[in-house]
Chains A and B, each alone.
Chain A
Amino acid sequence: MQIGFAKPSPSAIEVRGLRTRLGNHEVLRGVSLKVQRGQIVALIGPNGSGKTTLLRCLLGIQKSDAGEIRLFDQPFSTVGLNRVGYVPQRLQTERSFILTVREFLALRVKRTHGWLWHSKAHTDRLLADTLEEMGVGALLDRPLAALSGGQLQRVLIAFSLIGSPELLLLDEPTAGVDTPGEDSFYEMMAQVHRRHKLTVVLVSHDLGMVYRHASWVYALNGVICCEGTPEQVMNADSLKQAYGIHVAPYHHHHGGVHAH
């Protein structure tokens, strides 16, 4: 199913014919998509369908073999990344590296605002306010490696927001988070989206979240299988195209929906 854009507006991301190989396996086989500014766009698809690879290509971490990526209507460049925030699935932090949340966030403050522009008091206030907004103000002096999955994701969003991004990319932000935690995370994310007027692109397996919060959905399986509003994509035929097998939305008792 291909549904055209109703009214053209400035795009945050535009991808045309993107092809990428990991080893001998061609993970992305000509992906094209367009993300309008201000949208929450969900990328869904089975494991190994190339969702994370696509995000990594958008950030320039993964090289592409062919195709074109434009960020904010400009050809991709590392300068454009100044306007992008990224929340990875996990960090490579070891417990032996005792970086506190305060120190971690301060790294972003210094990269964004420089050393000279902010007093320590101003930086402390900025960090405390950003963490409060994420609902994790008490974590400021905790070691990063000691945070739970849900706490870490909120700290990572705070890290991104300090850079004042216009586009936020999240890679399965609720992997390893329990269902009530998932729900409150997505509520918080929706608030952040509204408050900061962000464009959000997220990879998710939680179809309930996609249904409730996403304004546009791309189903990926090496190529874009279907796209549209959640109502248009979240039907059995579309999901079968993406997942390759019969998939029906499963409503669990917390109100969430997962593919099964």
Chain B
Amino acid sequence: MSRRITTITEASMLTEPFMVRALIAALLLGPACGLLGVFVTARRMSFFSDTVAHAALAGVAAGFLLGFPDPTVPLVVVCLGVAVVMLWLKERTELLTDTIMALLLSTSVAVGVVLLSVQRSRWVELDRYLFGDIISIGWPDVAWCAAVAGIVFSLVLVQFDSLSLVTVSEDLAHVAGIPVRRSNYVFVLILTLAVALSIRLLGVVLVTSLVVIPPAAARNLACTLRQQVLFSVLAGLIGSAGGVMASYPLNLPTGPSITLTLAALFVITLGVSMLRRKTKPALAQP
């Protein structure tokens, strides 16, 4: 009986065009964020994606104020602008990175809320961007997601060795002939694009989970970097698609559903890792 109900639910879910669009977006962005996340966590940039995500609020509010019917373009532009300002401040001032991020995060949220508050009719939109809303994902958004996922995978795979060496040591990468500054800017820009587009799925508050949890879950199982990258991409894929699919029959908001699916994956991999350590204590100690 329960099997039959599940089948009916899955079938009806796939007849809903908004669910199909959300699922495709999740299948594109989950693996892309998982791939980027390996380098984000290793470079201690988790707070960076949080800052960029919160900057999206200002982009959305500015988009509505300027009369954009769909605020995706202003959202992406403001996120990229904040990312560039962050890099510029890091290079040109003596401020610590987390100070710069906290400064930009709080400022951009304040700007977003002020701009939304002068457009009373748009105030309801705030909730949609804070926690994600798959109903608002249109085919143009899916096309954006496909383009960004394509850029992320092609750039990261082509530049894999350079990204890895810059992550280990910028000085060694410089001596090996890698243009470190350019590499860092490119990485930040593609990360910003991926985070900005994922906001539709998870919302500003939870989007960092798609970048941080997959590599953390992968780290529990992997013994090499290549394994970590592969497992992180898979975790991003399973977590985001699983979260979207679970949200429909359970009538849950999609953002928290994706985050909880990713968190469940992390708990499972942590359990496997601890079991493995118990059975092979010598191998667990490097």
Q: How far is the CB of A260 from chain B (nearest CB, A)?
A: 31
Contact with A along B167-203 (1 / 0, CB 8 A): 1111110111110000000000000000000000000
Give the nearest-CB partner of B224 in chain A.
A100
Would B226 and A91 count as touching, CB distance under 8 A?
Answer: no
Would B175 and A81 count as touching, CB distance under 8 A?
Answer: yes
Task: Identify which of B167, B174, B222, B223 contacts A60 (C-beta below 8 A).
Answer: B174
Q: Which residues does chain A contribute within 8 Å of B219, judged by CB atoms?
A: 96, 98
What number of A-B contacts does a CB cutoff of 8 Å give?
88
- Determine the distance from Cα of A102 to Cα of B225 in the docked complex, in whole angstroms: 10
Would A103 and B175 count as touching, CB distance under 8 A?
Answer: no
Known: A96-B216, A108-B176. A91 touches B168 (CB 8 A): yes
Q: Which of A89-113 contact B (CB under 8 A)?
A: 91-94, 96-100, 102-104, 107-108, 110-111
Q: Which of B75-124 contact A (CB under 8 A)?
A: 94
Would A143 and B38 count as touching, CB distance under 8 A?
Answer: no
Say whether A218 faces chain B, with CB atoms less than 8 Å apart: no
Give the nearest-CB partner of B216 in chain A.
A96
Q: How large is the interface on A (under 10, 10 to 19, 20 to 34, 35 or more residues)?
A: 35 or more
Would A98 and B223 count as touching, CB distance under 8 A?
Answer: yes
Task: Identify which of B38, B167, B171, B224 contacts A59 (C-beta below 8 A).
Answer: B171
- Among A60, A61, A86, A98, the one with the most B-chain Cβ atoms within 10 Å of its Cβ is A98
Q: How far is the CB of B135 from chain A (nearest CB, A)?
A: 36
- Determine the distance from Cα of A28 to Cα of B226 in the docked complex, in whole angstroms: 43
- Determine the distance from Cα of A91 to Cα of B224 in the docked complex, in whole angstroms: 18
Q: How far is the CB of A217 from chain B (nearest CB, A)?
A: 24
Say whether A78 faces chain B, with CB atoms less than 8 Å apart: yes
Q: How large is the interface on B (under 10, 10 to 19, 20 to 34, 35 or more residues)?
A: 20 to 34
Q: Which residues does chain A contribute within 8 Å of B222, judged by CB atoms?
A: 98
Say whether A192 faces chain B, with CB atoms less than 8 Å apart: no
Q: Which residues does chain A contribute within 8 Å of B94, judged by CB atoms?
A: 23
Known: A23-B94, A61-B171, A96-B42. A78 touches B177 (CB 8 A): yes
Say whether B215 faces chain A, with CB atoms less than 8 Å apart: yes
Q: Which residues does chain B contribute within 8 Å of A107, judged by CB atoms?
A: 161, 164-165, 176
Would B38 and A97 count as touching, CB distance under 8 A?
Answer: yes
Would B41 and A96 count as touching, CB distance under 8 A?
Answer: yes
Q: Which residues does chain B contribute within 8 Å of A144, judged by CB atoms?
A: 168
Task: Identify which of B42, B170, B172, B174 contacts A97 (C-beta below 8 A).
Answer: B42
Would A88 and B226 count as touching, CB distance under 8 A?
Answer: no
Give the nearest-CB partner of A93 in chain B.
B168
The secondary-structure label for the interface of chain A is mixed
- Determine the distance from Cα of A91 to Cα of B167 in the docked complex, in whole angstroms: 9
Would A59 and B175 count as touching, CB distance under 8 A?
Answer: yes
Q: Which residues does chain B contribute within 8 Å of A111, judged by CB atoms?
A: 161, 165, 176-178
- Determine the distance from Cα of A33 to Cα of B222 in the docked complex, in whole angstroms: 48
Known: A94-B41, A94-B42. A59 touches B165 (CB 8 A): no
Q: Which residues does chain B contribute within 8 Å of A98, judged by CB atoms?
A: 219, 222-225, 227-228
Would B168 and A96 count as touching, CB distance under 8 A?
Answer: no
- Determine the distance from Cα of A158 to Cα of B107 in the docked complex, in whole angstroms: 47
Would B177 and A103 count as touching, CB distance under 8 A?
Answer: no
Would B172 and A99 count as touching, CB distance under 8 A?
Answer: no
Q: Which residues does chain A contribute within 8 Å of B170, judged by CB atoms?
A: 92
Would A82 and B42 count as touching, CB distance under 8 A?
Answer: no
Say whether A16 faces chain B, with CB atoms less than 8 Å apart: no
Q: How far is the CB of A35 from chain B (nearest CB, A)?
A: 17
Q: How far is the CB of A42 from chain B (nearest CB, A)?
A: 21
Would B164 and A99 count as touching, CB distance under 8 A?
Answer: yes
Known: A103-B226, A163-B176. A142 touches B168 (CB 8 A): no
Say whether B44 faces chain A, with CB atoms less than 8 Å apart: yes
- Determine the distance from Cα of A141 to Cα of B226 in the docked complex, in whole angstroms: 13
Say whether B286 faces chain A, with CB atoms less than 8 Å apart: yes
Would B171 and A110 count as touching, CB distance under 8 A?
Answer: no
Q: Which residues does chain A contribute within 8 Å of B177, judged by CB atoms?
A: 78, 81-82, 111
Q: Which residues does chain B contribute within 8 Å of A146, judged by CB atoms?
A: 286
Q: Which of B105-150 contact A (CB under 8 A)?
A: none
Q: Which residues does chain B contribute within 8 Å of A61, judged by CB atoms?
A: 171, 174
Q: Which are the 10 A-B pairs with shortest beta-carbon distances?
A: A97-B42, A146-B286, A86-B175, A99-B225, A91-B169, A96-B41, A107-B161, A94-B42, A111-B176, A107-B165
Given contacts A103-B164, A103-B224, 20 further A-B contacts (CB under 8 A): A23-B94, A59-B174, A59-B175, A85-B175, A88-B169, A91-B169, A92-B167, A92-B168, A96-B42, A97-B41, A97-B228, A98-B219, A98-B227, A99-B164, A99-B167, A104-B168, A107-B165, A108-B176, A143-B286, A146-B286
